[in-house]
Structure 1
Amino acid sequence: MEHDTIQNRAGAGAAGELADVDEHTITALVNGRIAATAAPRLAQIVAALTRHLHDFAREVRLDEDELMAAIAFMTEVGQMSDARRQECILLSDVLGLSMLVTAQSRRKPAGCTEATVFGPFHVPDSPEHAPGDDIANGAPGAPCFVRGVVRTLDGTPVAGAKIEVWQADEAGCYDVQYAGLEQARARATLRTDAHGAYRFRSIVASPYPIPHDGPVGRLLAALGRHPWRPAHLHFMITADACEPLITHVFRAGAPYLDADAVFGVRQSLIAEWRLHPPGPGPGGVTLAQPFYTLDFDFVLNASAGVSESA
């Protein structure tokens, strides 16, 4: 009886008769069945999604074969996602949705380091390293020494900030893309010192293609788009009384800065990797091959409710 009452209430027209469903009335009918007891934010999101999704289908005159092809595509995207590869994030990235949400959700005051997309290759609990350690751990690529300071907007150094860093090697692959590789390479967790400083050794960043051997890659090819990303390092920085920062540092002059497959480049995040001849390097080491250095400071925003002067 309760089921019949719900059906009648949701499907009845103004005169209490069963509503006539067509391509124009269906949207109001679907949203009319969202219960008053539903969580307000969930109801808002689903109602808006329904309106836009239905408007899209009407605009392009979507047919049944195209709908089934889309369902098959999304099914394959989900099936290809696992702990080592996130095809769903790739799809969001290449459609610009990830960057749109980041831009509107992670706005920073002027002077703070800007955020960009997270990407699909972060791994939680990466190995902890001491300042100056070589985190490459055998990853192929020219040596690169990275250093900088983490501070707040008023210039206060942030001691003990947790810095997670990860990158692709010169072959364009992250460690998790190598079958059978158990140890982390070009990936680490570090902490800033009492002066907010950090430093580590790794390999120089190189351009690389996002994984394009799956459904997202086929979509890019069908659209005449390339899968390449400009050279960059990933950083995720967390510290007490500060907003978390997820960002990249992009290599100045590298290809694809103006054509990033996932739209993640921001001008303020482009920095110079300086090339040095063989010889003495940072930390007293001597290198028999050319090496690079990168200096980049991060400016964190105070958490909501925390004053910069506190």
Structure 2
Amino acid sequence: MRNINEDTITQAVLASMAGCRDARLREVMTSLVQHVHAFARETKLTEAEWFQGIEFLTRAGHITDDKRQEFILLSDVLGLSMLVTAQNNAKPAGCTEATVFGPFYVDGAPVVDNGADISNGAKGAPCFVSGQVRGIDGKPVPDAALDVWQSDDEGFYDVQKPADGLHEHQARARLYTDAQGRFDFRSILAQHYPIPHDGPVGCMLENLGRHPWRPAHLHFMIQAPGYERLITHVFRDGDKYLDSDAVFGVRSSLIADWKRHDPDARKTGTNEPYYSLQYDFVLNPSKKAA
């Protein structure tokens, strides 16, 4: 490996991995090295630019913790998350489309009954959500687990706020479909919000002339025995960021109408208008079940 130059270094790196016993790891790393080296050659990357990139990744690592994942944000805004999601979630026509997972899912959300108010003090206009989970054959899927999470009226998820020990989980819960595959819960009206942009990813977006906004949506993760797991959003129709989502996650089939209703204090406990969303999900059978 002596006397390696810019023309021979790529093959030298690839040759160094010949002893790798994991065929898939060797395949991925071979492609990665080839593409990264080709990128450096194509752009004639300078040492200063290379170091700037190292500093960017270092800052992303420093700002990442158990409540914030800057690397997922980076993957999201570069379209990589949605690309990987799309190529790994091809489904038959009629199934609900998948979209990006996002950085704000957490394990251990409270399990609630149908009809529960999952907002738990989160700010926002009352919103009643209902629907049905079915298989592609039209049959209802009972006992499907639905994880749902969303931001509040100020554009923040519960994990972005300092814990006060009183409301650790807000606008976040897990519930299960009934015998007819139906579900319903009360939450708050979805609003558009910016992804966290006070870190290196936000700085990158600003330098690229891009905004950090996401259109209003609810996150869903649906799991049921015999079916593929579905990770998706339902987007609020009419949102001004539907055509410029910062993470490229919008699909036309996932856009739905949030209906506005006149105030009903008996129903909501407030004298403000409330909203409702009805949306059905269609799952694809798992390969094991087919």
Is residue 211 of structure 1 aligned with residue 200 of structure 2?
no
Unaligned runs of 5+ in 2: none
More deviation, 77-86/45-54: 77-86
TM-score by length of 2: 0.97
How far did 1:108 drift? Answer: 0.9
For residue 14 of structure 2, give the secondary structure of its aligned residue in structure 1.
Answer: helix
What's 1:266 paired with?
251
1:227 to 186, 190, 212: 212
The amino acid across from 2:252 in the alignment is Q
Is residue 121 of structure 1 aligned with residue 104 of structure 2?
yes
How far did 1:287 drift? Answer: 4.9
The amino acid across from 1:90 in the alignment is L
Q: Judge conservation of contact 2:114–2:183 (CA < 8 Å) in 1.
A: yes
Is residue 21 of structure 1 aligned with residue 4 of structure 2?
yes
What's 2:33 paired with?
50
What's 2:176 paired with?
191
What's 1:102 paired with?
85
The amino acid across from 2:263 in the alignment is P
For residue 147 of structure 2, give the secondary structure of its aligned residue in structure 1.
Answer: strand
What's 1:6 paired with?
none
What's 2:271 paired with?
288
CA offset digits 1:240-271 (Å, max 9, x no partner): 01000000000000110000000000110000
What's 1:169 paired with?
152
Q: Judge conservation of contact 1:175–1:181 (CA < 8 Å) in 2.
A: no
Tell me the number of residue pairs that the alignment of Structure 1 and Structure 2 aligns: 288
Inter-partner Cα distance in structure 2 for 1:136 and 1:285: 12
How far did 1:79 drift? Answer: 1.4
How far did 1:179 drift? Answer: 1.2
For residue 73 of structure 2, give the secondary structure of its aligned residue in structure 1.
Answer: helix
TM-score by length of 1: 0.90
Unaligned runs of 5+ in 1: 1-10, 12-17
For residue 71 of structure 2, give the secondary structure of its aligned residue in structure 1.
Answer: helix
Inter-partner Cα distance in structure 2 for 1:251 and 1:291: 15
Q: Judge conservation of contact 1:209–1:227 (CA < 8 Å) in 2.
A: yes
What's 1:130 paired with?
113
Is residue 154 of structure 1 aligned with residue 137 of structure 2?
yes
Runs of 4+ in 1 over 3 A off after TM superposition: 284-287
For residue 57 of structure 2, give the secondary structure of its aligned residue in structure 1.
Answer: helix
How far did 1:205 drift? Answer: 0.2
How far did 1:280 drift? Answer: 7.2
Q: Judge conservation of contact 1:163–1:236 (CA < 8 Å) in 2.
A: yes
Query: Cα RMSD between the aligned structures?
Result: 1.3
How far did 1:180 drift? Answer: 2.4
Inter-partner Cα distance in structure 2 for 1:95 and 1:220: 10
How far did 1:289 drift? Answer: 1.6
The amino acid across from 2:187 in the alignment is S
How far did 1:78 drift? Answer: 1.2
2:15 to 9, 16, 32: 32
Inter-partner Cα distance in structure 2 for 1:232 and 1:55: 38
Is residue 87 of structure 1 aligned with residue 70 of structure 2?
yes
CA offset digits 1:98-146 (Å, max 9, x no partner): 0000000111111000000000000111001110000001101000000
What's 1:249 paired with?
234
CA offset digits 1:73-103 (Å, max 9, x no partner): 1011111111111111000000000000000
Which one has a bigger Cα radius of gyration? Answer: 1
